[in-house]
Chain A
Amino acid sequence: MIWKEKYRIGVSMIDKQHQELFRRVEDFIVNLRSSGKWEDRQEKVKSTMEFMKEYVVVHFRAEEEYQKKINYPGLAEHQRIHAGFKEEINNFAQKFEEEGYQEDLVQSLAGKLLAWLINHVASEDQKIGSYAKSLGGDSNEG
């Protein structure tokens, strides 16, 4: 399990989504790291990757909506960070189109994504939680 309790930000809607996101990332990575021929595994890897990517979009949107709702002062910066990450994911998607669905490329995407996500949730997203808390302890209403 790659989710850790210390990633909690204290806003239940976001914490639940983060846990779901980490579950999907883990599912993708477990399939990607399983043994066997790439040709036999790649359909499953591809579907778990798509399943994860879908949720990244859903989650980023919901998290930004929440920030708007509480007038979070760091919204613009947070949107910029999300957009930068989505652009990097799209660059990978474009490479898959051009170069084919190469295992090395998928491994690179997964390694980067794991490190990015852990840092983003453990660092940047904590600031949303701190701000929500400063508004008066209603942070768990999401």
Chain B
Amino acid sequence: MKAEYVNPFYQATIQVFKLMLDLDLKRVLEADGADSQVIVQLSVSGDLTGTITYHFPEEMALKMVQIMSGMEFNELDSFVTSALAEIANIISGNAMSNLFERNYRCDISPPQVLTSPPEGLNTVPTLRLPLETKWGTLIINIALRETPS
């Protein structure tokens, strides 16, 4: 899988976190998945085919929603998961625009909240993009390939 697929997601995530949350992210080499997390997956179709999976650790997820609402959140309820699904949707949409500038025309499916990590991650070539904040590390798994013509 080409590394050039990663940058559009990196740029989109940095931009959306800054704009919506005033939160800075730092790209790190590796990170362990959190025990409790919100997992959001979207499918990509068009010139590229595959999935994008966002893993938000619990503490980060709760803080993100707290920043947006000004209210305290203590558990990963449907308000929190739905807000994060929308953020993953926004990031992915912006990443698709960035890919379009690199001449890849793609669409995304509506985001799905998963209750456990998706299977088959080891069989599909996947690039991992861990992005660190003061409340944990967001991991974005990018599994894309060129659609055979």
**A residues apposed to B, CB below 8 Å:** 1-2, 26, 29-30, 32-33, 104-105, 107-112, 114-116, 118-119, 122-123
Contact = CB atoms under 8 A, between A and B. Distances in A.
Interface residues of B, number: 20
Contacts of B68: 2, 114-115, 118
A111 B78 CA distance: 8
B71 A118 contact: no
Given A122-B19, A123-B19, A111 B71 contact: no
B90 interface: yes
Contact of B86 (A30, A105, A111): A111
A105 B20 CA distance: 24
B85 A112 contact: yes
Q: DSSP majority for the B interface?
A: helix
Interface in B42-86: 65, 68-71, 77-86
Contacts of A111: 65, 78-86
Given A30-B71, A33-B71, A111-B65, A118 B82 contact: no
Contacts of A2: 68-70
Nearest to B87: A115
B78 A119 contact: no
Nearest to B111: A112
Contacts, number: 64
A109 B82 contact: yes
A23 B13 CA distance: 28
Contacts of B86: 111-112, 115-116, 119
Given A2-B68, A2-B69, A33-B71, A115 B83 contact: yes
Contacts of A29: 69, 71
Nearest to B85: A112
B20 A122 contact: yes
Nearest to A2: B70
Contacts of A123: 19
Contacts of B82: 107-112
Contact of B78 (A26, A107, A115): A107
Contacts of A109: 82
B16 interface: yes
B78 A108 contact: yes
Given A104-B78, A107-B77, A115 B20 contact: yes
Nearest to A119: B90
B149 to A, nearest CB: 29
A108 B83 CA distance: 8
A1 B67 CA distance: 11
B20 A1 contact: no
A109 B82 CA distance: 7
B19 A119 contact: yes
